[in-house]
Amino acid sequence: MSRVYNFGAGPAMLPLEVMEKAQAEFLDYKNMGASVIEISHRSAEFDEIINRCDELLIELANIPDNYKILYVHGGAQMQFSAIPMNIIQRKPAGKASFVLTGNWAVKASKEAARYGEAVNIASSEDQNFSYIPEFDPASLDPESSYLHITSNNTLFGTRWHSFPDTGDVPLVADMTSEFLSRKLDISQFGIIFAGLQKNLGPAGLALVIIREDLLGHALPMTPGLLNYKTYADQHSLANTNNTFAIYMMSLVLEWLKDQGGVADMEQRNEEKAKLIYDCIDSNDFYYGTAQAAHRSVMNVTFNMRNEELLGDFLKQAEAEGLYALKGHRDVGGARASIYNAMPKAGCQALVDFMQDFAKRNG
């Protein structure tokens, strides 16, 4: 079997060991004579899967006792609606604040405006979201129900290296493209959410980690399956959840634990990103599209000085087994998404190709 190095932004590559285990168990889960996708979400076997997922998340992310873990339908974008529906009216002002660092924060702000007032207190749109704007605490209204940030910007290749101090205003972070790739202090956040399709499993489900005091503030119009309290009260099983995605996440989390946990993975991720950034910075053939001080570790965005070579670069890279390197249309160029499952060997293979391509075309 020949497999490529998949640099796709998402759905992204999963660890080979995880997929092999899922393959081995697919037709006959634990000698039941049935697949894991066929068994009831109310069965003892699935209860064991979801409980194990909880345990691993608590251990790996060091989640405090006063937070709830929710497995929520609809992926990360659905949470752009669910979050304001659940907490924008927890204060009389009915206001949410946003720092705009890319398309996803813009979409989240526009969605929140449907349910209250959305205030954009900082933005990097003036330079095509190539940096993280300075956060001025004085710009944050203490009557805001929350401040929303995107911790890592998949499209533009930037990330928050440290997080803003929001005082008593809960910090809400979209961590879709980096959750469990670096150590976090969960207590800094009111809500963390992430679509599974980058570092956690297959697409179609979102993980939400919410501080307990933020439950119970949903707007009366909130549908039951967008109300976080519904998920918290019924262990995310008010209806048939995406059982296969939860099962796959449990395997990914087991794999991450076997790799040494988040601290070890963070070190590896830093090394992987440095390999590629050093290549970009070491010659005049390539240039990074994100400002160096704000570069992402998960999504490396770059282009060639001679942009007419991009098509050849992408075509030849794919022929070498370096898959899905095309950048997003709003940035152009190339993008290497190097999530937890990407081995260092894949990054080295990309660097070797980049150096050879520059030598042949420079």
Q: Where residue 221 falls among pLDDT bands split at 50, 70, 90?
A: very high
* Catalytic hit among 160, 174, 272, 326: 174
- Asked if 313 and 247 sit in the same domain, the reply is no
Per the DSSP assignment, residues forming a β-bridge with 70 are 208
Tell me which amino acid residue 51 is: N
**160 shares its domain with 208:** yes
338 with 300: CB under 8 angstroms?
Answer: yes
CATH number at residue 332: 3.90.1150.10
Instruction: Render pLDDT for 240-298 as a digit per residue (tens, 0 to 9).
Output: 999 999 999 999 999 999 999 999 999 999 999 999 999 999 989 999 999 999 999 99
221 and 78 within one domain: yes
Question: E strands, 238-343, where?
Answer: 286-288, 299-304, 322-323, 334-337
Structure tokens at 98: 């946003």
Catalytic residue chosen out of the listed positions 68, 91, 104, 160? 104
251 and 281, same domain (yes or no):
no
Residue 242 lies in a domain: yes
Q: Of these residues, 68, 91, 198, 272, which one is catalytic?
A: 198
Give the span between the Cα atoms of 136 and 122, in whole angstroms: 8
Question: Tens of pLDDT along 47-64?
Answer: 999 999 999 999 999 999
Q: For residues 252 and 281, state if they share a domain.
A: no
Q: Does residue 119 fall inside a structural domain?
A: yes
| Domain closes at, from 203, 225, 258 | 258
Give the mean model confidence (pLDDT) for residues 27-41: 97
Q: Containing domain of residue 338, as a range?
A: 261-361
* CB contact at 8 A, 241 and 247: no
Q: Domain count of the chain?
A: 2
The pLDDT of residue 263: 98
Short-list 222, 218, 237, 213, CA closest to 70: 237
Mean pLDDT over all residues of the chain? Answer: 97
Residues 136 and 213 grouped into a single domain:
yes
Domain of residue 137, CATH code: 3.40.640.10
233 shares its domain with 304: no
**Is residue 237 within 8 Å of residue 37, measured between CB atoms?**
no
Within-domain flag for 1: no
pLDDT at residue 2 in the model:
87
pLDDT over threshold 90, residue 362: no
The residue from 258, 278, 309 where one domain ends is 258
Q: Indicate if 198 belongs to the active site.
A: yes
- For residues 180 and 286, what is the distance between their CA atoms, to the nearest angstrom? 30
Please check whether residue 214 is in contact with residue 290, taking contact to mean a CB–CB distance below 8 angstroms. Answer: no
Is 190 found in the same domain as 106? Answer: yes
What is the average pLDDT across 219-243? Answer: 97
Active site residue 104: yes
Return the pLDDT at 205.
Answer: 97
The secondary structure of residue 59, as a DSSP letter, is: H
Pairing of strands 205-211, 95-100: unpaired
Q: Note the pLDDT of residue 283.
A: 87
Q: Answer whether residue 109 is part of any domain.
A: yes
Q: What is the mean pLDDT of residues 104-127?
A: 98
Structure-block tokens of residue 296: 């992402």
pLDDT at residue number 90: 96
**Token pair listed for 319:** 């022929």
> Same domain, yes or no, for 323 and 236?
no
Give the Cα separation of 145 and 170 in Å (integer).
7
Percent of residues, the chain, with pLDDT higher than 90? 99
